[in-house]
A and B are shown apart, each in its own frame.
Chain A
Amino acid sequence: MRLLIASLQQLISRWAHLTRQQLALLSLAGFLLLLVLLGEGNHQPNTALIQTRLNQAQPVETWKANIQESEIRGVWITNVASSVLFAPWGISRAVHELADMHFNTLYPVVWNRGKSFYHSDTLKQLTGHAIAPLMTLTHPTADPHETMLKEGHKNNLRVIPWFEYGFMVPLHSRLAQQHPNWLTTRQNGSPYLHESSFTEGADNENADNESADNESADNESTESAEQTNGLLSRLLNSGAPSELGWLNPLHPEVQSLILSLVGEVVGEYSVDGIQFDDHFALPAAFGYDDYTVALYREEHEGQFPPTNTDDAEWTRWRADKLSQFVGVLHERVKATCPTCIISLSPNPATFAYRYHLQDWRTWLKNGWLDELVVQVYRDDPEKFEGELAKDTLQSSMDKIPVSIGILTGTWKRPISFEQIRAQVISSRDHHLSGVSFFYWDTLWSYFTPESPQQRRQNFRDLFADEPTR
């Protein structure tokens, strides 16, 4: 053995022309590097994490029950403007830090930009890629979604995969290019939807009071906006596709695709549920594609759909069709995984119905939802309070856990911790079930107004107590 080590030393020395002292120094540097790598970049003292790990012995049912009784403290983990899913140590580090801060729910992305973030046979057949190609480079052997589940459950966190893009797809994606008949269109036959024209509406401070004109004006100007989008704009959007389209939620083949994807996630992974958001909808401007028009005419004695996109009957008809599909989806999920919850993260009800034809009040009434995380991305404290005090939200709380989606910032819209703290406290004052933050990378990182250490300390203080409600 000694001979082997001596020969190895000699070999290395000869190769690098190093003296023994230099070799010793290099070994020391290597050892230090190894120490840090093993630490996986956890910069804060991990006393709470140690406690969390000590608690791992409790049965899964016990901690799941505890979460039901606790304040929901969730976070969305996405691939957009985020490295968490791509860095080899990213998932493990994020989950450990979140557990350390007393979070208890993860909503990791599994479906975005026509790609999956788990191994999907359905997408492999359709697009040739079982998982987003970049993920195969950074996670060549492990399934990152499996890692997320394993790490999450090990740290007593619920893991509820999030179908972030819902029916939205980039027009240049293989899915959209190979199946153009799956896309719905606007009145002028255009399948284009600029992402900002969708999200800006949702983020609008006066969402419920806005006239439909603003939204349609947004949509009308979409194509010209696409042309003015430069490289800088795309960089700020983290390479987000500028040309987006919408899969037709009424089309049987699209429905079959979504059912297959959901079936894979709830059937093949030990998930605690699934989540859809405001993209699991149909923007009011859409629905003029051949399939939908034919279906409408079939049910309306040959009449064409109204040209007014906000026509009450036309809105109701499309919303009901979407609701019917949600019923099917609910049935399928519960048949595959009876313990899985169906979580929805919509916009406030009136806005969601009017602009996205997402009639979640009906979904709730029919018992198709097990959890609501209503996005209230408002900066103005009065408007935030106003949303929380609305009857729909309060009455929903009688049926299922309702928590509030709070924006912790984006690259273009940094949000101070003071605002976040005020919104969490307000949610507690309104006796909501908890909060969920959008998104992981703006909880505590360089892309926040405060330093990461300061931000972590703030969250630690905010969530210092055990989560009770």
Chain B
Amino acid sequence: MSFSSFSEPIFNKVTPHWAALSQRWGLKPVALKEGAILLVGWTVLTWLAFVCSLLFIEVGERSDLSLLEGLLGGGLIGLAQWQMLRFSCGESSATPWKSSHRWLVASVLGWGTLTLFHVGALGWMAPGSAHNLFFRSLLGLVYGGYVGAGLGIAQWLAIRKQVAGAWRWVPLSSGTWAVAIALGWLVGGCLRAVSHLFISEVVGLLVAWGAIAILSGLGIVGLMYQEKS
């Protein structure tokens, strides 16, 4: 039994539902499959890029990430996301994008600039252990929103010609980071209170980056594959 003979009946059943969904969400129906692939690939690669970055960047409590580490971290994340954009938005796709490499440049420069402003470490940073859980979450919301907005602006510059209403990426990125960092720091804080080990904060950041990967993936798919009016 070939894969297509197994999968075709499933696709035939699912396609009308997808079409209805895309109509409701304002997406191009033909792009729905591509969008799903982009979402999954984006999520997985972004998260794995963060895991890889831990080989070179040490999670800490202070925003003392060096410029090189900021560039490297941003580069790794940007590289992973660019690969997905390249793959999903090639010439044969529904939304061809020839200059997707700009995403990588924007990510590297965005992280680098944030590092210069001493907030670039946020993706690799935990708040001090003295803070209570509520305060940690609040800090996460504020700092996450700030960094997300900074990154969003840099990346908006990369997608503004490709995507209509690309400005929406800025608040979207800000919101994504705010929620994700708050969640990650909350999880990290809870685990640390139980285990008394700093590794809890790393686990919290893994959760945060998981949330960043999924939420930003949903955002980018929504923007890239929106129905053009």
Instruction: Give, as a whole number of angstroms, the nearest-CB distance from A424 to chain B.
Output: 21
Instruction: Check A449–B197 contact: CB distance below 8 A.
Output: yes
| Given A29-B75, A41-B58, A454-B61; A449-B198 close (CB under 8 Å) | yes
Closest to A36 in B: B56
Any A CB within 8 A of the CB of B208: no
Which residues from A are CB-within-8-Å of B212? none
Which residues from A are CB-within-8-Å of B126? 451
Q: Give 10 nearest A-B pairs by CB, closest first.
A: A446-B199, A453-B60, A451-B61, A36-B56, A414-B196, A43-B58, A451-B60, A449-B196, A22-B101, A446-B198
Q: List 30 A-B contacts (CB under 8 A).
A: A19-B101, A21-B101, A25-B101, A25-B105, A29-B79, A29-B104, A32-B68, A32-B72, A32-B75, A33-B72, A35-B68, A36-B56, A36-B72, A41-B58, A43-B58, A414-B197, A445-B198, A446-B59, A446-B198, A446-B199, A446-B201, A447-B197, A447-B199, A448-B197, A449-B198, A450-B129, A451-B59, A451-B62, A452-B58, A453-B61
Which residues from A are CB-within-8-Å of B68? 32, 35-36
Any A CB within 8 A of the CB of B64: yes
Instruction: Give, as a whole number of angstroms, the nearest-CB distance from B205 to chain A.
Output: 11
CA distance A43 to B195 in the complex (A): 25
Closest to B71 in A: A32
Q: A450 touches which one: B59, B79, B195, B198 (CB < 8 A)?
A: B198
Any B CB within 8 A of the CB of A411: yes
Which residues from A are CB-within-8-Å of B58? 41, 43, 452-453
In chain A, residues 441-463, which have Cβ atoms closer than 8 Å to a Cβ of chain B? 445-454
Any A CB within 8 A of the CB of B10: no
Instruction: Give, as a whole number of angstroms, the nearest-CB distance from B128 to chain A.
Output: 9
Binding site for A on B (CB under 8 A): 55-56, 58-62, 64, 68-69, 71-72, 75, 79, 101, 104-105, 126, 129, 195-199, 201-202
In chain A, residues 1-49, which have Cβ atoms closer than 8 Å to a Cβ of chain B? 19, 21-22, 25, 29, 32-33, 35-37, 41, 43
> When each residue 356-371 of chain A gets 1 if its CB lies under 8 Å from chain B and 0 otherwise, what string results?
0000000000000000
Instruction: Check A41–B197 contact: CB distance below 8 A.
Output: no
Instruction: Check B56–A452 contact: CB distance below 8 A.
Output: no
CA distance A448 to B197 in the complex (A): 5
Extra 8 A-B pairs, beta carbons < 8 Å, given A25-B101, A452-B198 = A25-B105, A29-B79, A35-B68, A36-B72, A41-B56, A449-B197, A449-B198, A453-B62
Which residues from B are CB-within-8-Å of A32? 68, 71-72, 75
Instruction: Give, as a whole number of angstroms, the nearest-CB distance from B50 to chain A.
Output: 15
CA distance A36 to B58 in the complex (A): 12
CA distance A445 to B54 in the complex (A): 13
Which residues from A are CB-within-8-Å of B105? 25
Among A19, A35, A36, A414, max chain B CB count under 10 A is at A36
CA distance A36 to B56 in the complex (A): 7
Which residues from B are CB-within-8-Å of A19? 101
Instruction: Give, as a whole number of angstroms, the nearest-CB distance from A81 to chain B.
Output: 12
